[in-house]
Amino acid sequence: MELEAHFPTTSSDPDTPRAATTAINRTLQLLLSDDSDSQIQAAKEIRRLTKTSQRCRRQLSPAVKPLVSMLRLDSVDSNEAALLALLNLAVKDEKNKVNIVAAGALEPIIGFLQSQNSNMQEYATAALLTLSASTINKPTISAAGAIPLLVEILRYGSPQARVDAVLALYNLSTYSDNISIILETKPIPSIVDLLKTCKKSSKTAEKCSALTESLVGFEDGRTALTSEEGGVLAVVEVLENGSLQSREHAVGALLTMCQSDRCKYREPILREGVIPGLLELTVQGTPKSQSKAQTLLRLLRDSPHPRSELQPDTLENIVSNLISQIDSEEQSRKAKKMLAEMVQVSMEQSLRHLQQRAVVCTPTDLPINNCTSEVSLK
């Protein structure tokens, strides 16, 4: 899912469609006037009208070009009013997103990323976050040189700008050609820093994890993550405490690393105490998380190859093997507790499955001996 920025405004939509149409026509006339104060007033009104109304966003689409022209004026007030109006016009409106970029908005917006005015920097970052939600805009935004500047915002911007920058980078990373460009700007230290400080269940952590998963598909990304102090640990903490989607991205990142070079990345991953979190994922994660967690557990044990028939290649045996290698008493205790819980949950799930099969096989209107299979529960 692509992300967009949202800014609070001070007023609500017009009460009726007729009132909205009247306000829209008046506002468009005002915007086309030669008076800068009137243009600013019109831009603020557009921001108000398009706060939540999709209909107003469509009807006010002719305002895009005049507003983009205002971005080029040597007036902070005009720039700010126009940028916020364009931001609201673009939210949840694909046509407006594309038209804003086509009208030449990227050049001034990217210029605002380098502004000493922190407000304009924040608004420009939010605008790129929203515009980058459009698949059509992704290569254009990258070609305009936005990615290195977004990474700079991620490093040094205000808290809100840093969050919007990483979300914009995530949006851009879903266009595959952009991933290598993002990686060249060395964003991983800043992503890790944001991961360390943000709430692990937040949307920010989810998109940081998703971006990290994409970046570790490259050797430079894997090296950067393991070289950054606390880099692998930050991913493990998301795996343990993140949302379901965040945890899926986190385990995906670690699995990608281990699959690329098990000998190189097995120890750095094990060292951060990943086993308890992986055990929990095998029974409580999404279907993808469960599969990835089980695969990663197999790769993390002494030998990634199946054991002999005397020691079947069950998840419990794999985990027992891993626990025996853990040096930390606390980590070993947690892993053993998680293994016991995992086995208990697995038994409960198996019991429920058997009971469901029994119910399916013995409908009330059929005799029991018509069942194709029978299960005895003790």
Model confidence over 121-172: pLDDT tens digits?
999 999 999 999 999 999 999 999 999 999 999 999 999 999 999 999 999 9
Quote the tokens at residue 373. 């299979």
Q: What is the mean pLDDT of residues 54-58?
A: 94
Q: Which of 53-57, 100-104, 258-262, 314-318 has the lowest mean pLDDT?
A: 314-318
The pLDDT of residue 22 is 86
The tally of CA atoms less than 13 A away on the side-chain side of residue 218 is: 18
Q: pLDDT, tens digit, for every residue of 297-314?
A: 999 986 655 544 444 455
Averaged pLDDT, 346-370: 48
Gap between the Cα atoms of 238 and 136, Å rounded? 31
**pLDDT band for position 368 (50/70/90)?**
very low
Non-local (6+) Cβ contacts of 113 within 8 A are 121, 124, 125, 128, 146, 149, 150, 152, 153
Contact 133, 97 (CB under 8 A): yes
Q: How many CB atoms lie within 10 A of CB 221?
A: 25
Side chain identity, residue 104: G
pLDDT per residue as tens digits for the range 79-116: 999 999 999 999 999 999 999 999 999 999 999 999 99
Per-residue pLDDT for 274 more than 60? Answer: yes
- Integer Cα distance of 295 and 258 in angstroms: 10
pLDDT number for residue 369: 39
3-state DSSP call for residue 188? Answer: helix
Token readout for 205 is 């952590």
pLDDT score for 11: 44
Asked if residue 76 lies in contact with residue 117, where contact means CB atoms within 8 angstroms, the answer is: yes
Quick one: pLDDT band at residue 378, thresholds 50, 70, 90? very low
pTM of structure: 0.80
Q: Give me 25's structure tokens.
A: 């026509």
How far apart, in Å, are the Cα atoms of 219 and each of 205, 211, 225, 270, 290?
22, 15, 10, 19, 25
pLDDT of residue 146: 98
Q: So what's the pLDDT on residue 1?
A: 65
Task: Look over the chain and give the mean of its residue pLDDT values, rounded to a whole number.
Answer: 85
**For 152-181, b where at least 16 C-beta lie within 10 A, e where not — what string?**
bbbbebeeebbbbbbbbbbbbbbbeebbeb
What average pLDDT score do residues 187-201 get? 97
Count the helices and strands in the chain (H runs, E runs): 22, 0
Sign of the Cα pseudo-torsion (276, 282, 285, 289, in order): positive
Report residue 186: phi and psi, to 5°: 55, 60
Q: Which of 132, 126, 228, 232 lies closest to 178 in space, CA to CA?
A: 132
Q: At 20, is the pLDDT very low, low, confident or very high (cuts 50, 70, 90)?
A: confident
Please tell me the chain's helix, strand, coil percentages from 3-state DSSP, rounded to the nearest 5: 70, 0, 30
